[in-house]
Structure 1
Amino acid sequence: MNLGEYSDSALFILSLKPMSGYELSRKLKWDGSMVSGGTIRPLLKSLEYHGFIRYEMRGRAKVYHLTSKGEKYVSNLRLFRENIRERMLAVSMGRDLLFPDVLASIEDTTILNEAIDKMAAVIIRQVKVAFVLRKAGNTEAIDRMISNLNDVIKEILSAEKPKIKQ
């Protein structure tokens, strides 16, 4: 079930208040520009088809709002994002105190945010794979995946030792 790149944002915005597709498209900005009707209409139809939203007619406008499934999804999404944020800070601060040093510098914080942007999709993919493996009871594959990732990181750190703090 691929609902597209705007789905989470659209659901989050609709969790704040019901609105028309036009109003949602104005709030769903990407790179500073409004999302087009050619993007928003299929997105809304898909979210409706999958049971996350429904609409009511108000005059000639369709006003969209979350269903209970959509509300649960947004609630769980908020918890998921908070968990990721807390875990990343806890791990970084508990092991090497990298983030406190980085966050003291605007330039380093910018570089950190760029690194997070580059790695986010890969990390989420790894989490999805780990979830599927865990749900199937295959914890050995998860352990193997973690071991392989740690081996790659050690290899990179040893090759880049003068440049990267360990």
Structure 2
Amino acid sequence: MASVGVRGWARALSRGARPSITTLMAGARTASGLSKDMLPGPYPKTPEERAAAAKKYNMRVEDYEPYPDEGMGYGDYPMLRDKSQSERDPWYTWDNTYLRRNWGEPMHWDFDMFIRTRVDTSPSPVDWPTMCKHLFGFIGFMLLLFGLGEAYPMYQPVVSV
């Protein structure tokens, strides 16, 4: 396979040969890197910039809230609520059924944390105090049985030969 990208250019230039069209095409075929439209822009400071950023991310201006400008590099990316893909409707006809996403909808900044095989933010059917009662009740019952087994040992009868 032909060399790809900057490494191919460096090899071609270091050998004294001019980069050929195959080297150029190999870099184009890999489509490496994000396009400028995919990267977050600067933090919006005016209402017009906020409206433009909301339109860029296909959101209403009322729903658009960027991450705070704390120097982390989020830019104008929208701050979406933490909602896992398991919470989304499984019967809806999604454009991408595995990720339960539609084309053009903004993704959470940490979307890889909220996929269906990882963190599940859906509410639990049992509340926390009930779960603790069941756990400690089971552990206490097992400790009681262990104590009874130690206090009253039981052995299989054996016939001497």
Q: TM-score, normalised by structure 2?
A: 0.25
Give the number of the structure whose alpha-carbon radius of gyration is greater.
2
Greater percentage in helix: 1
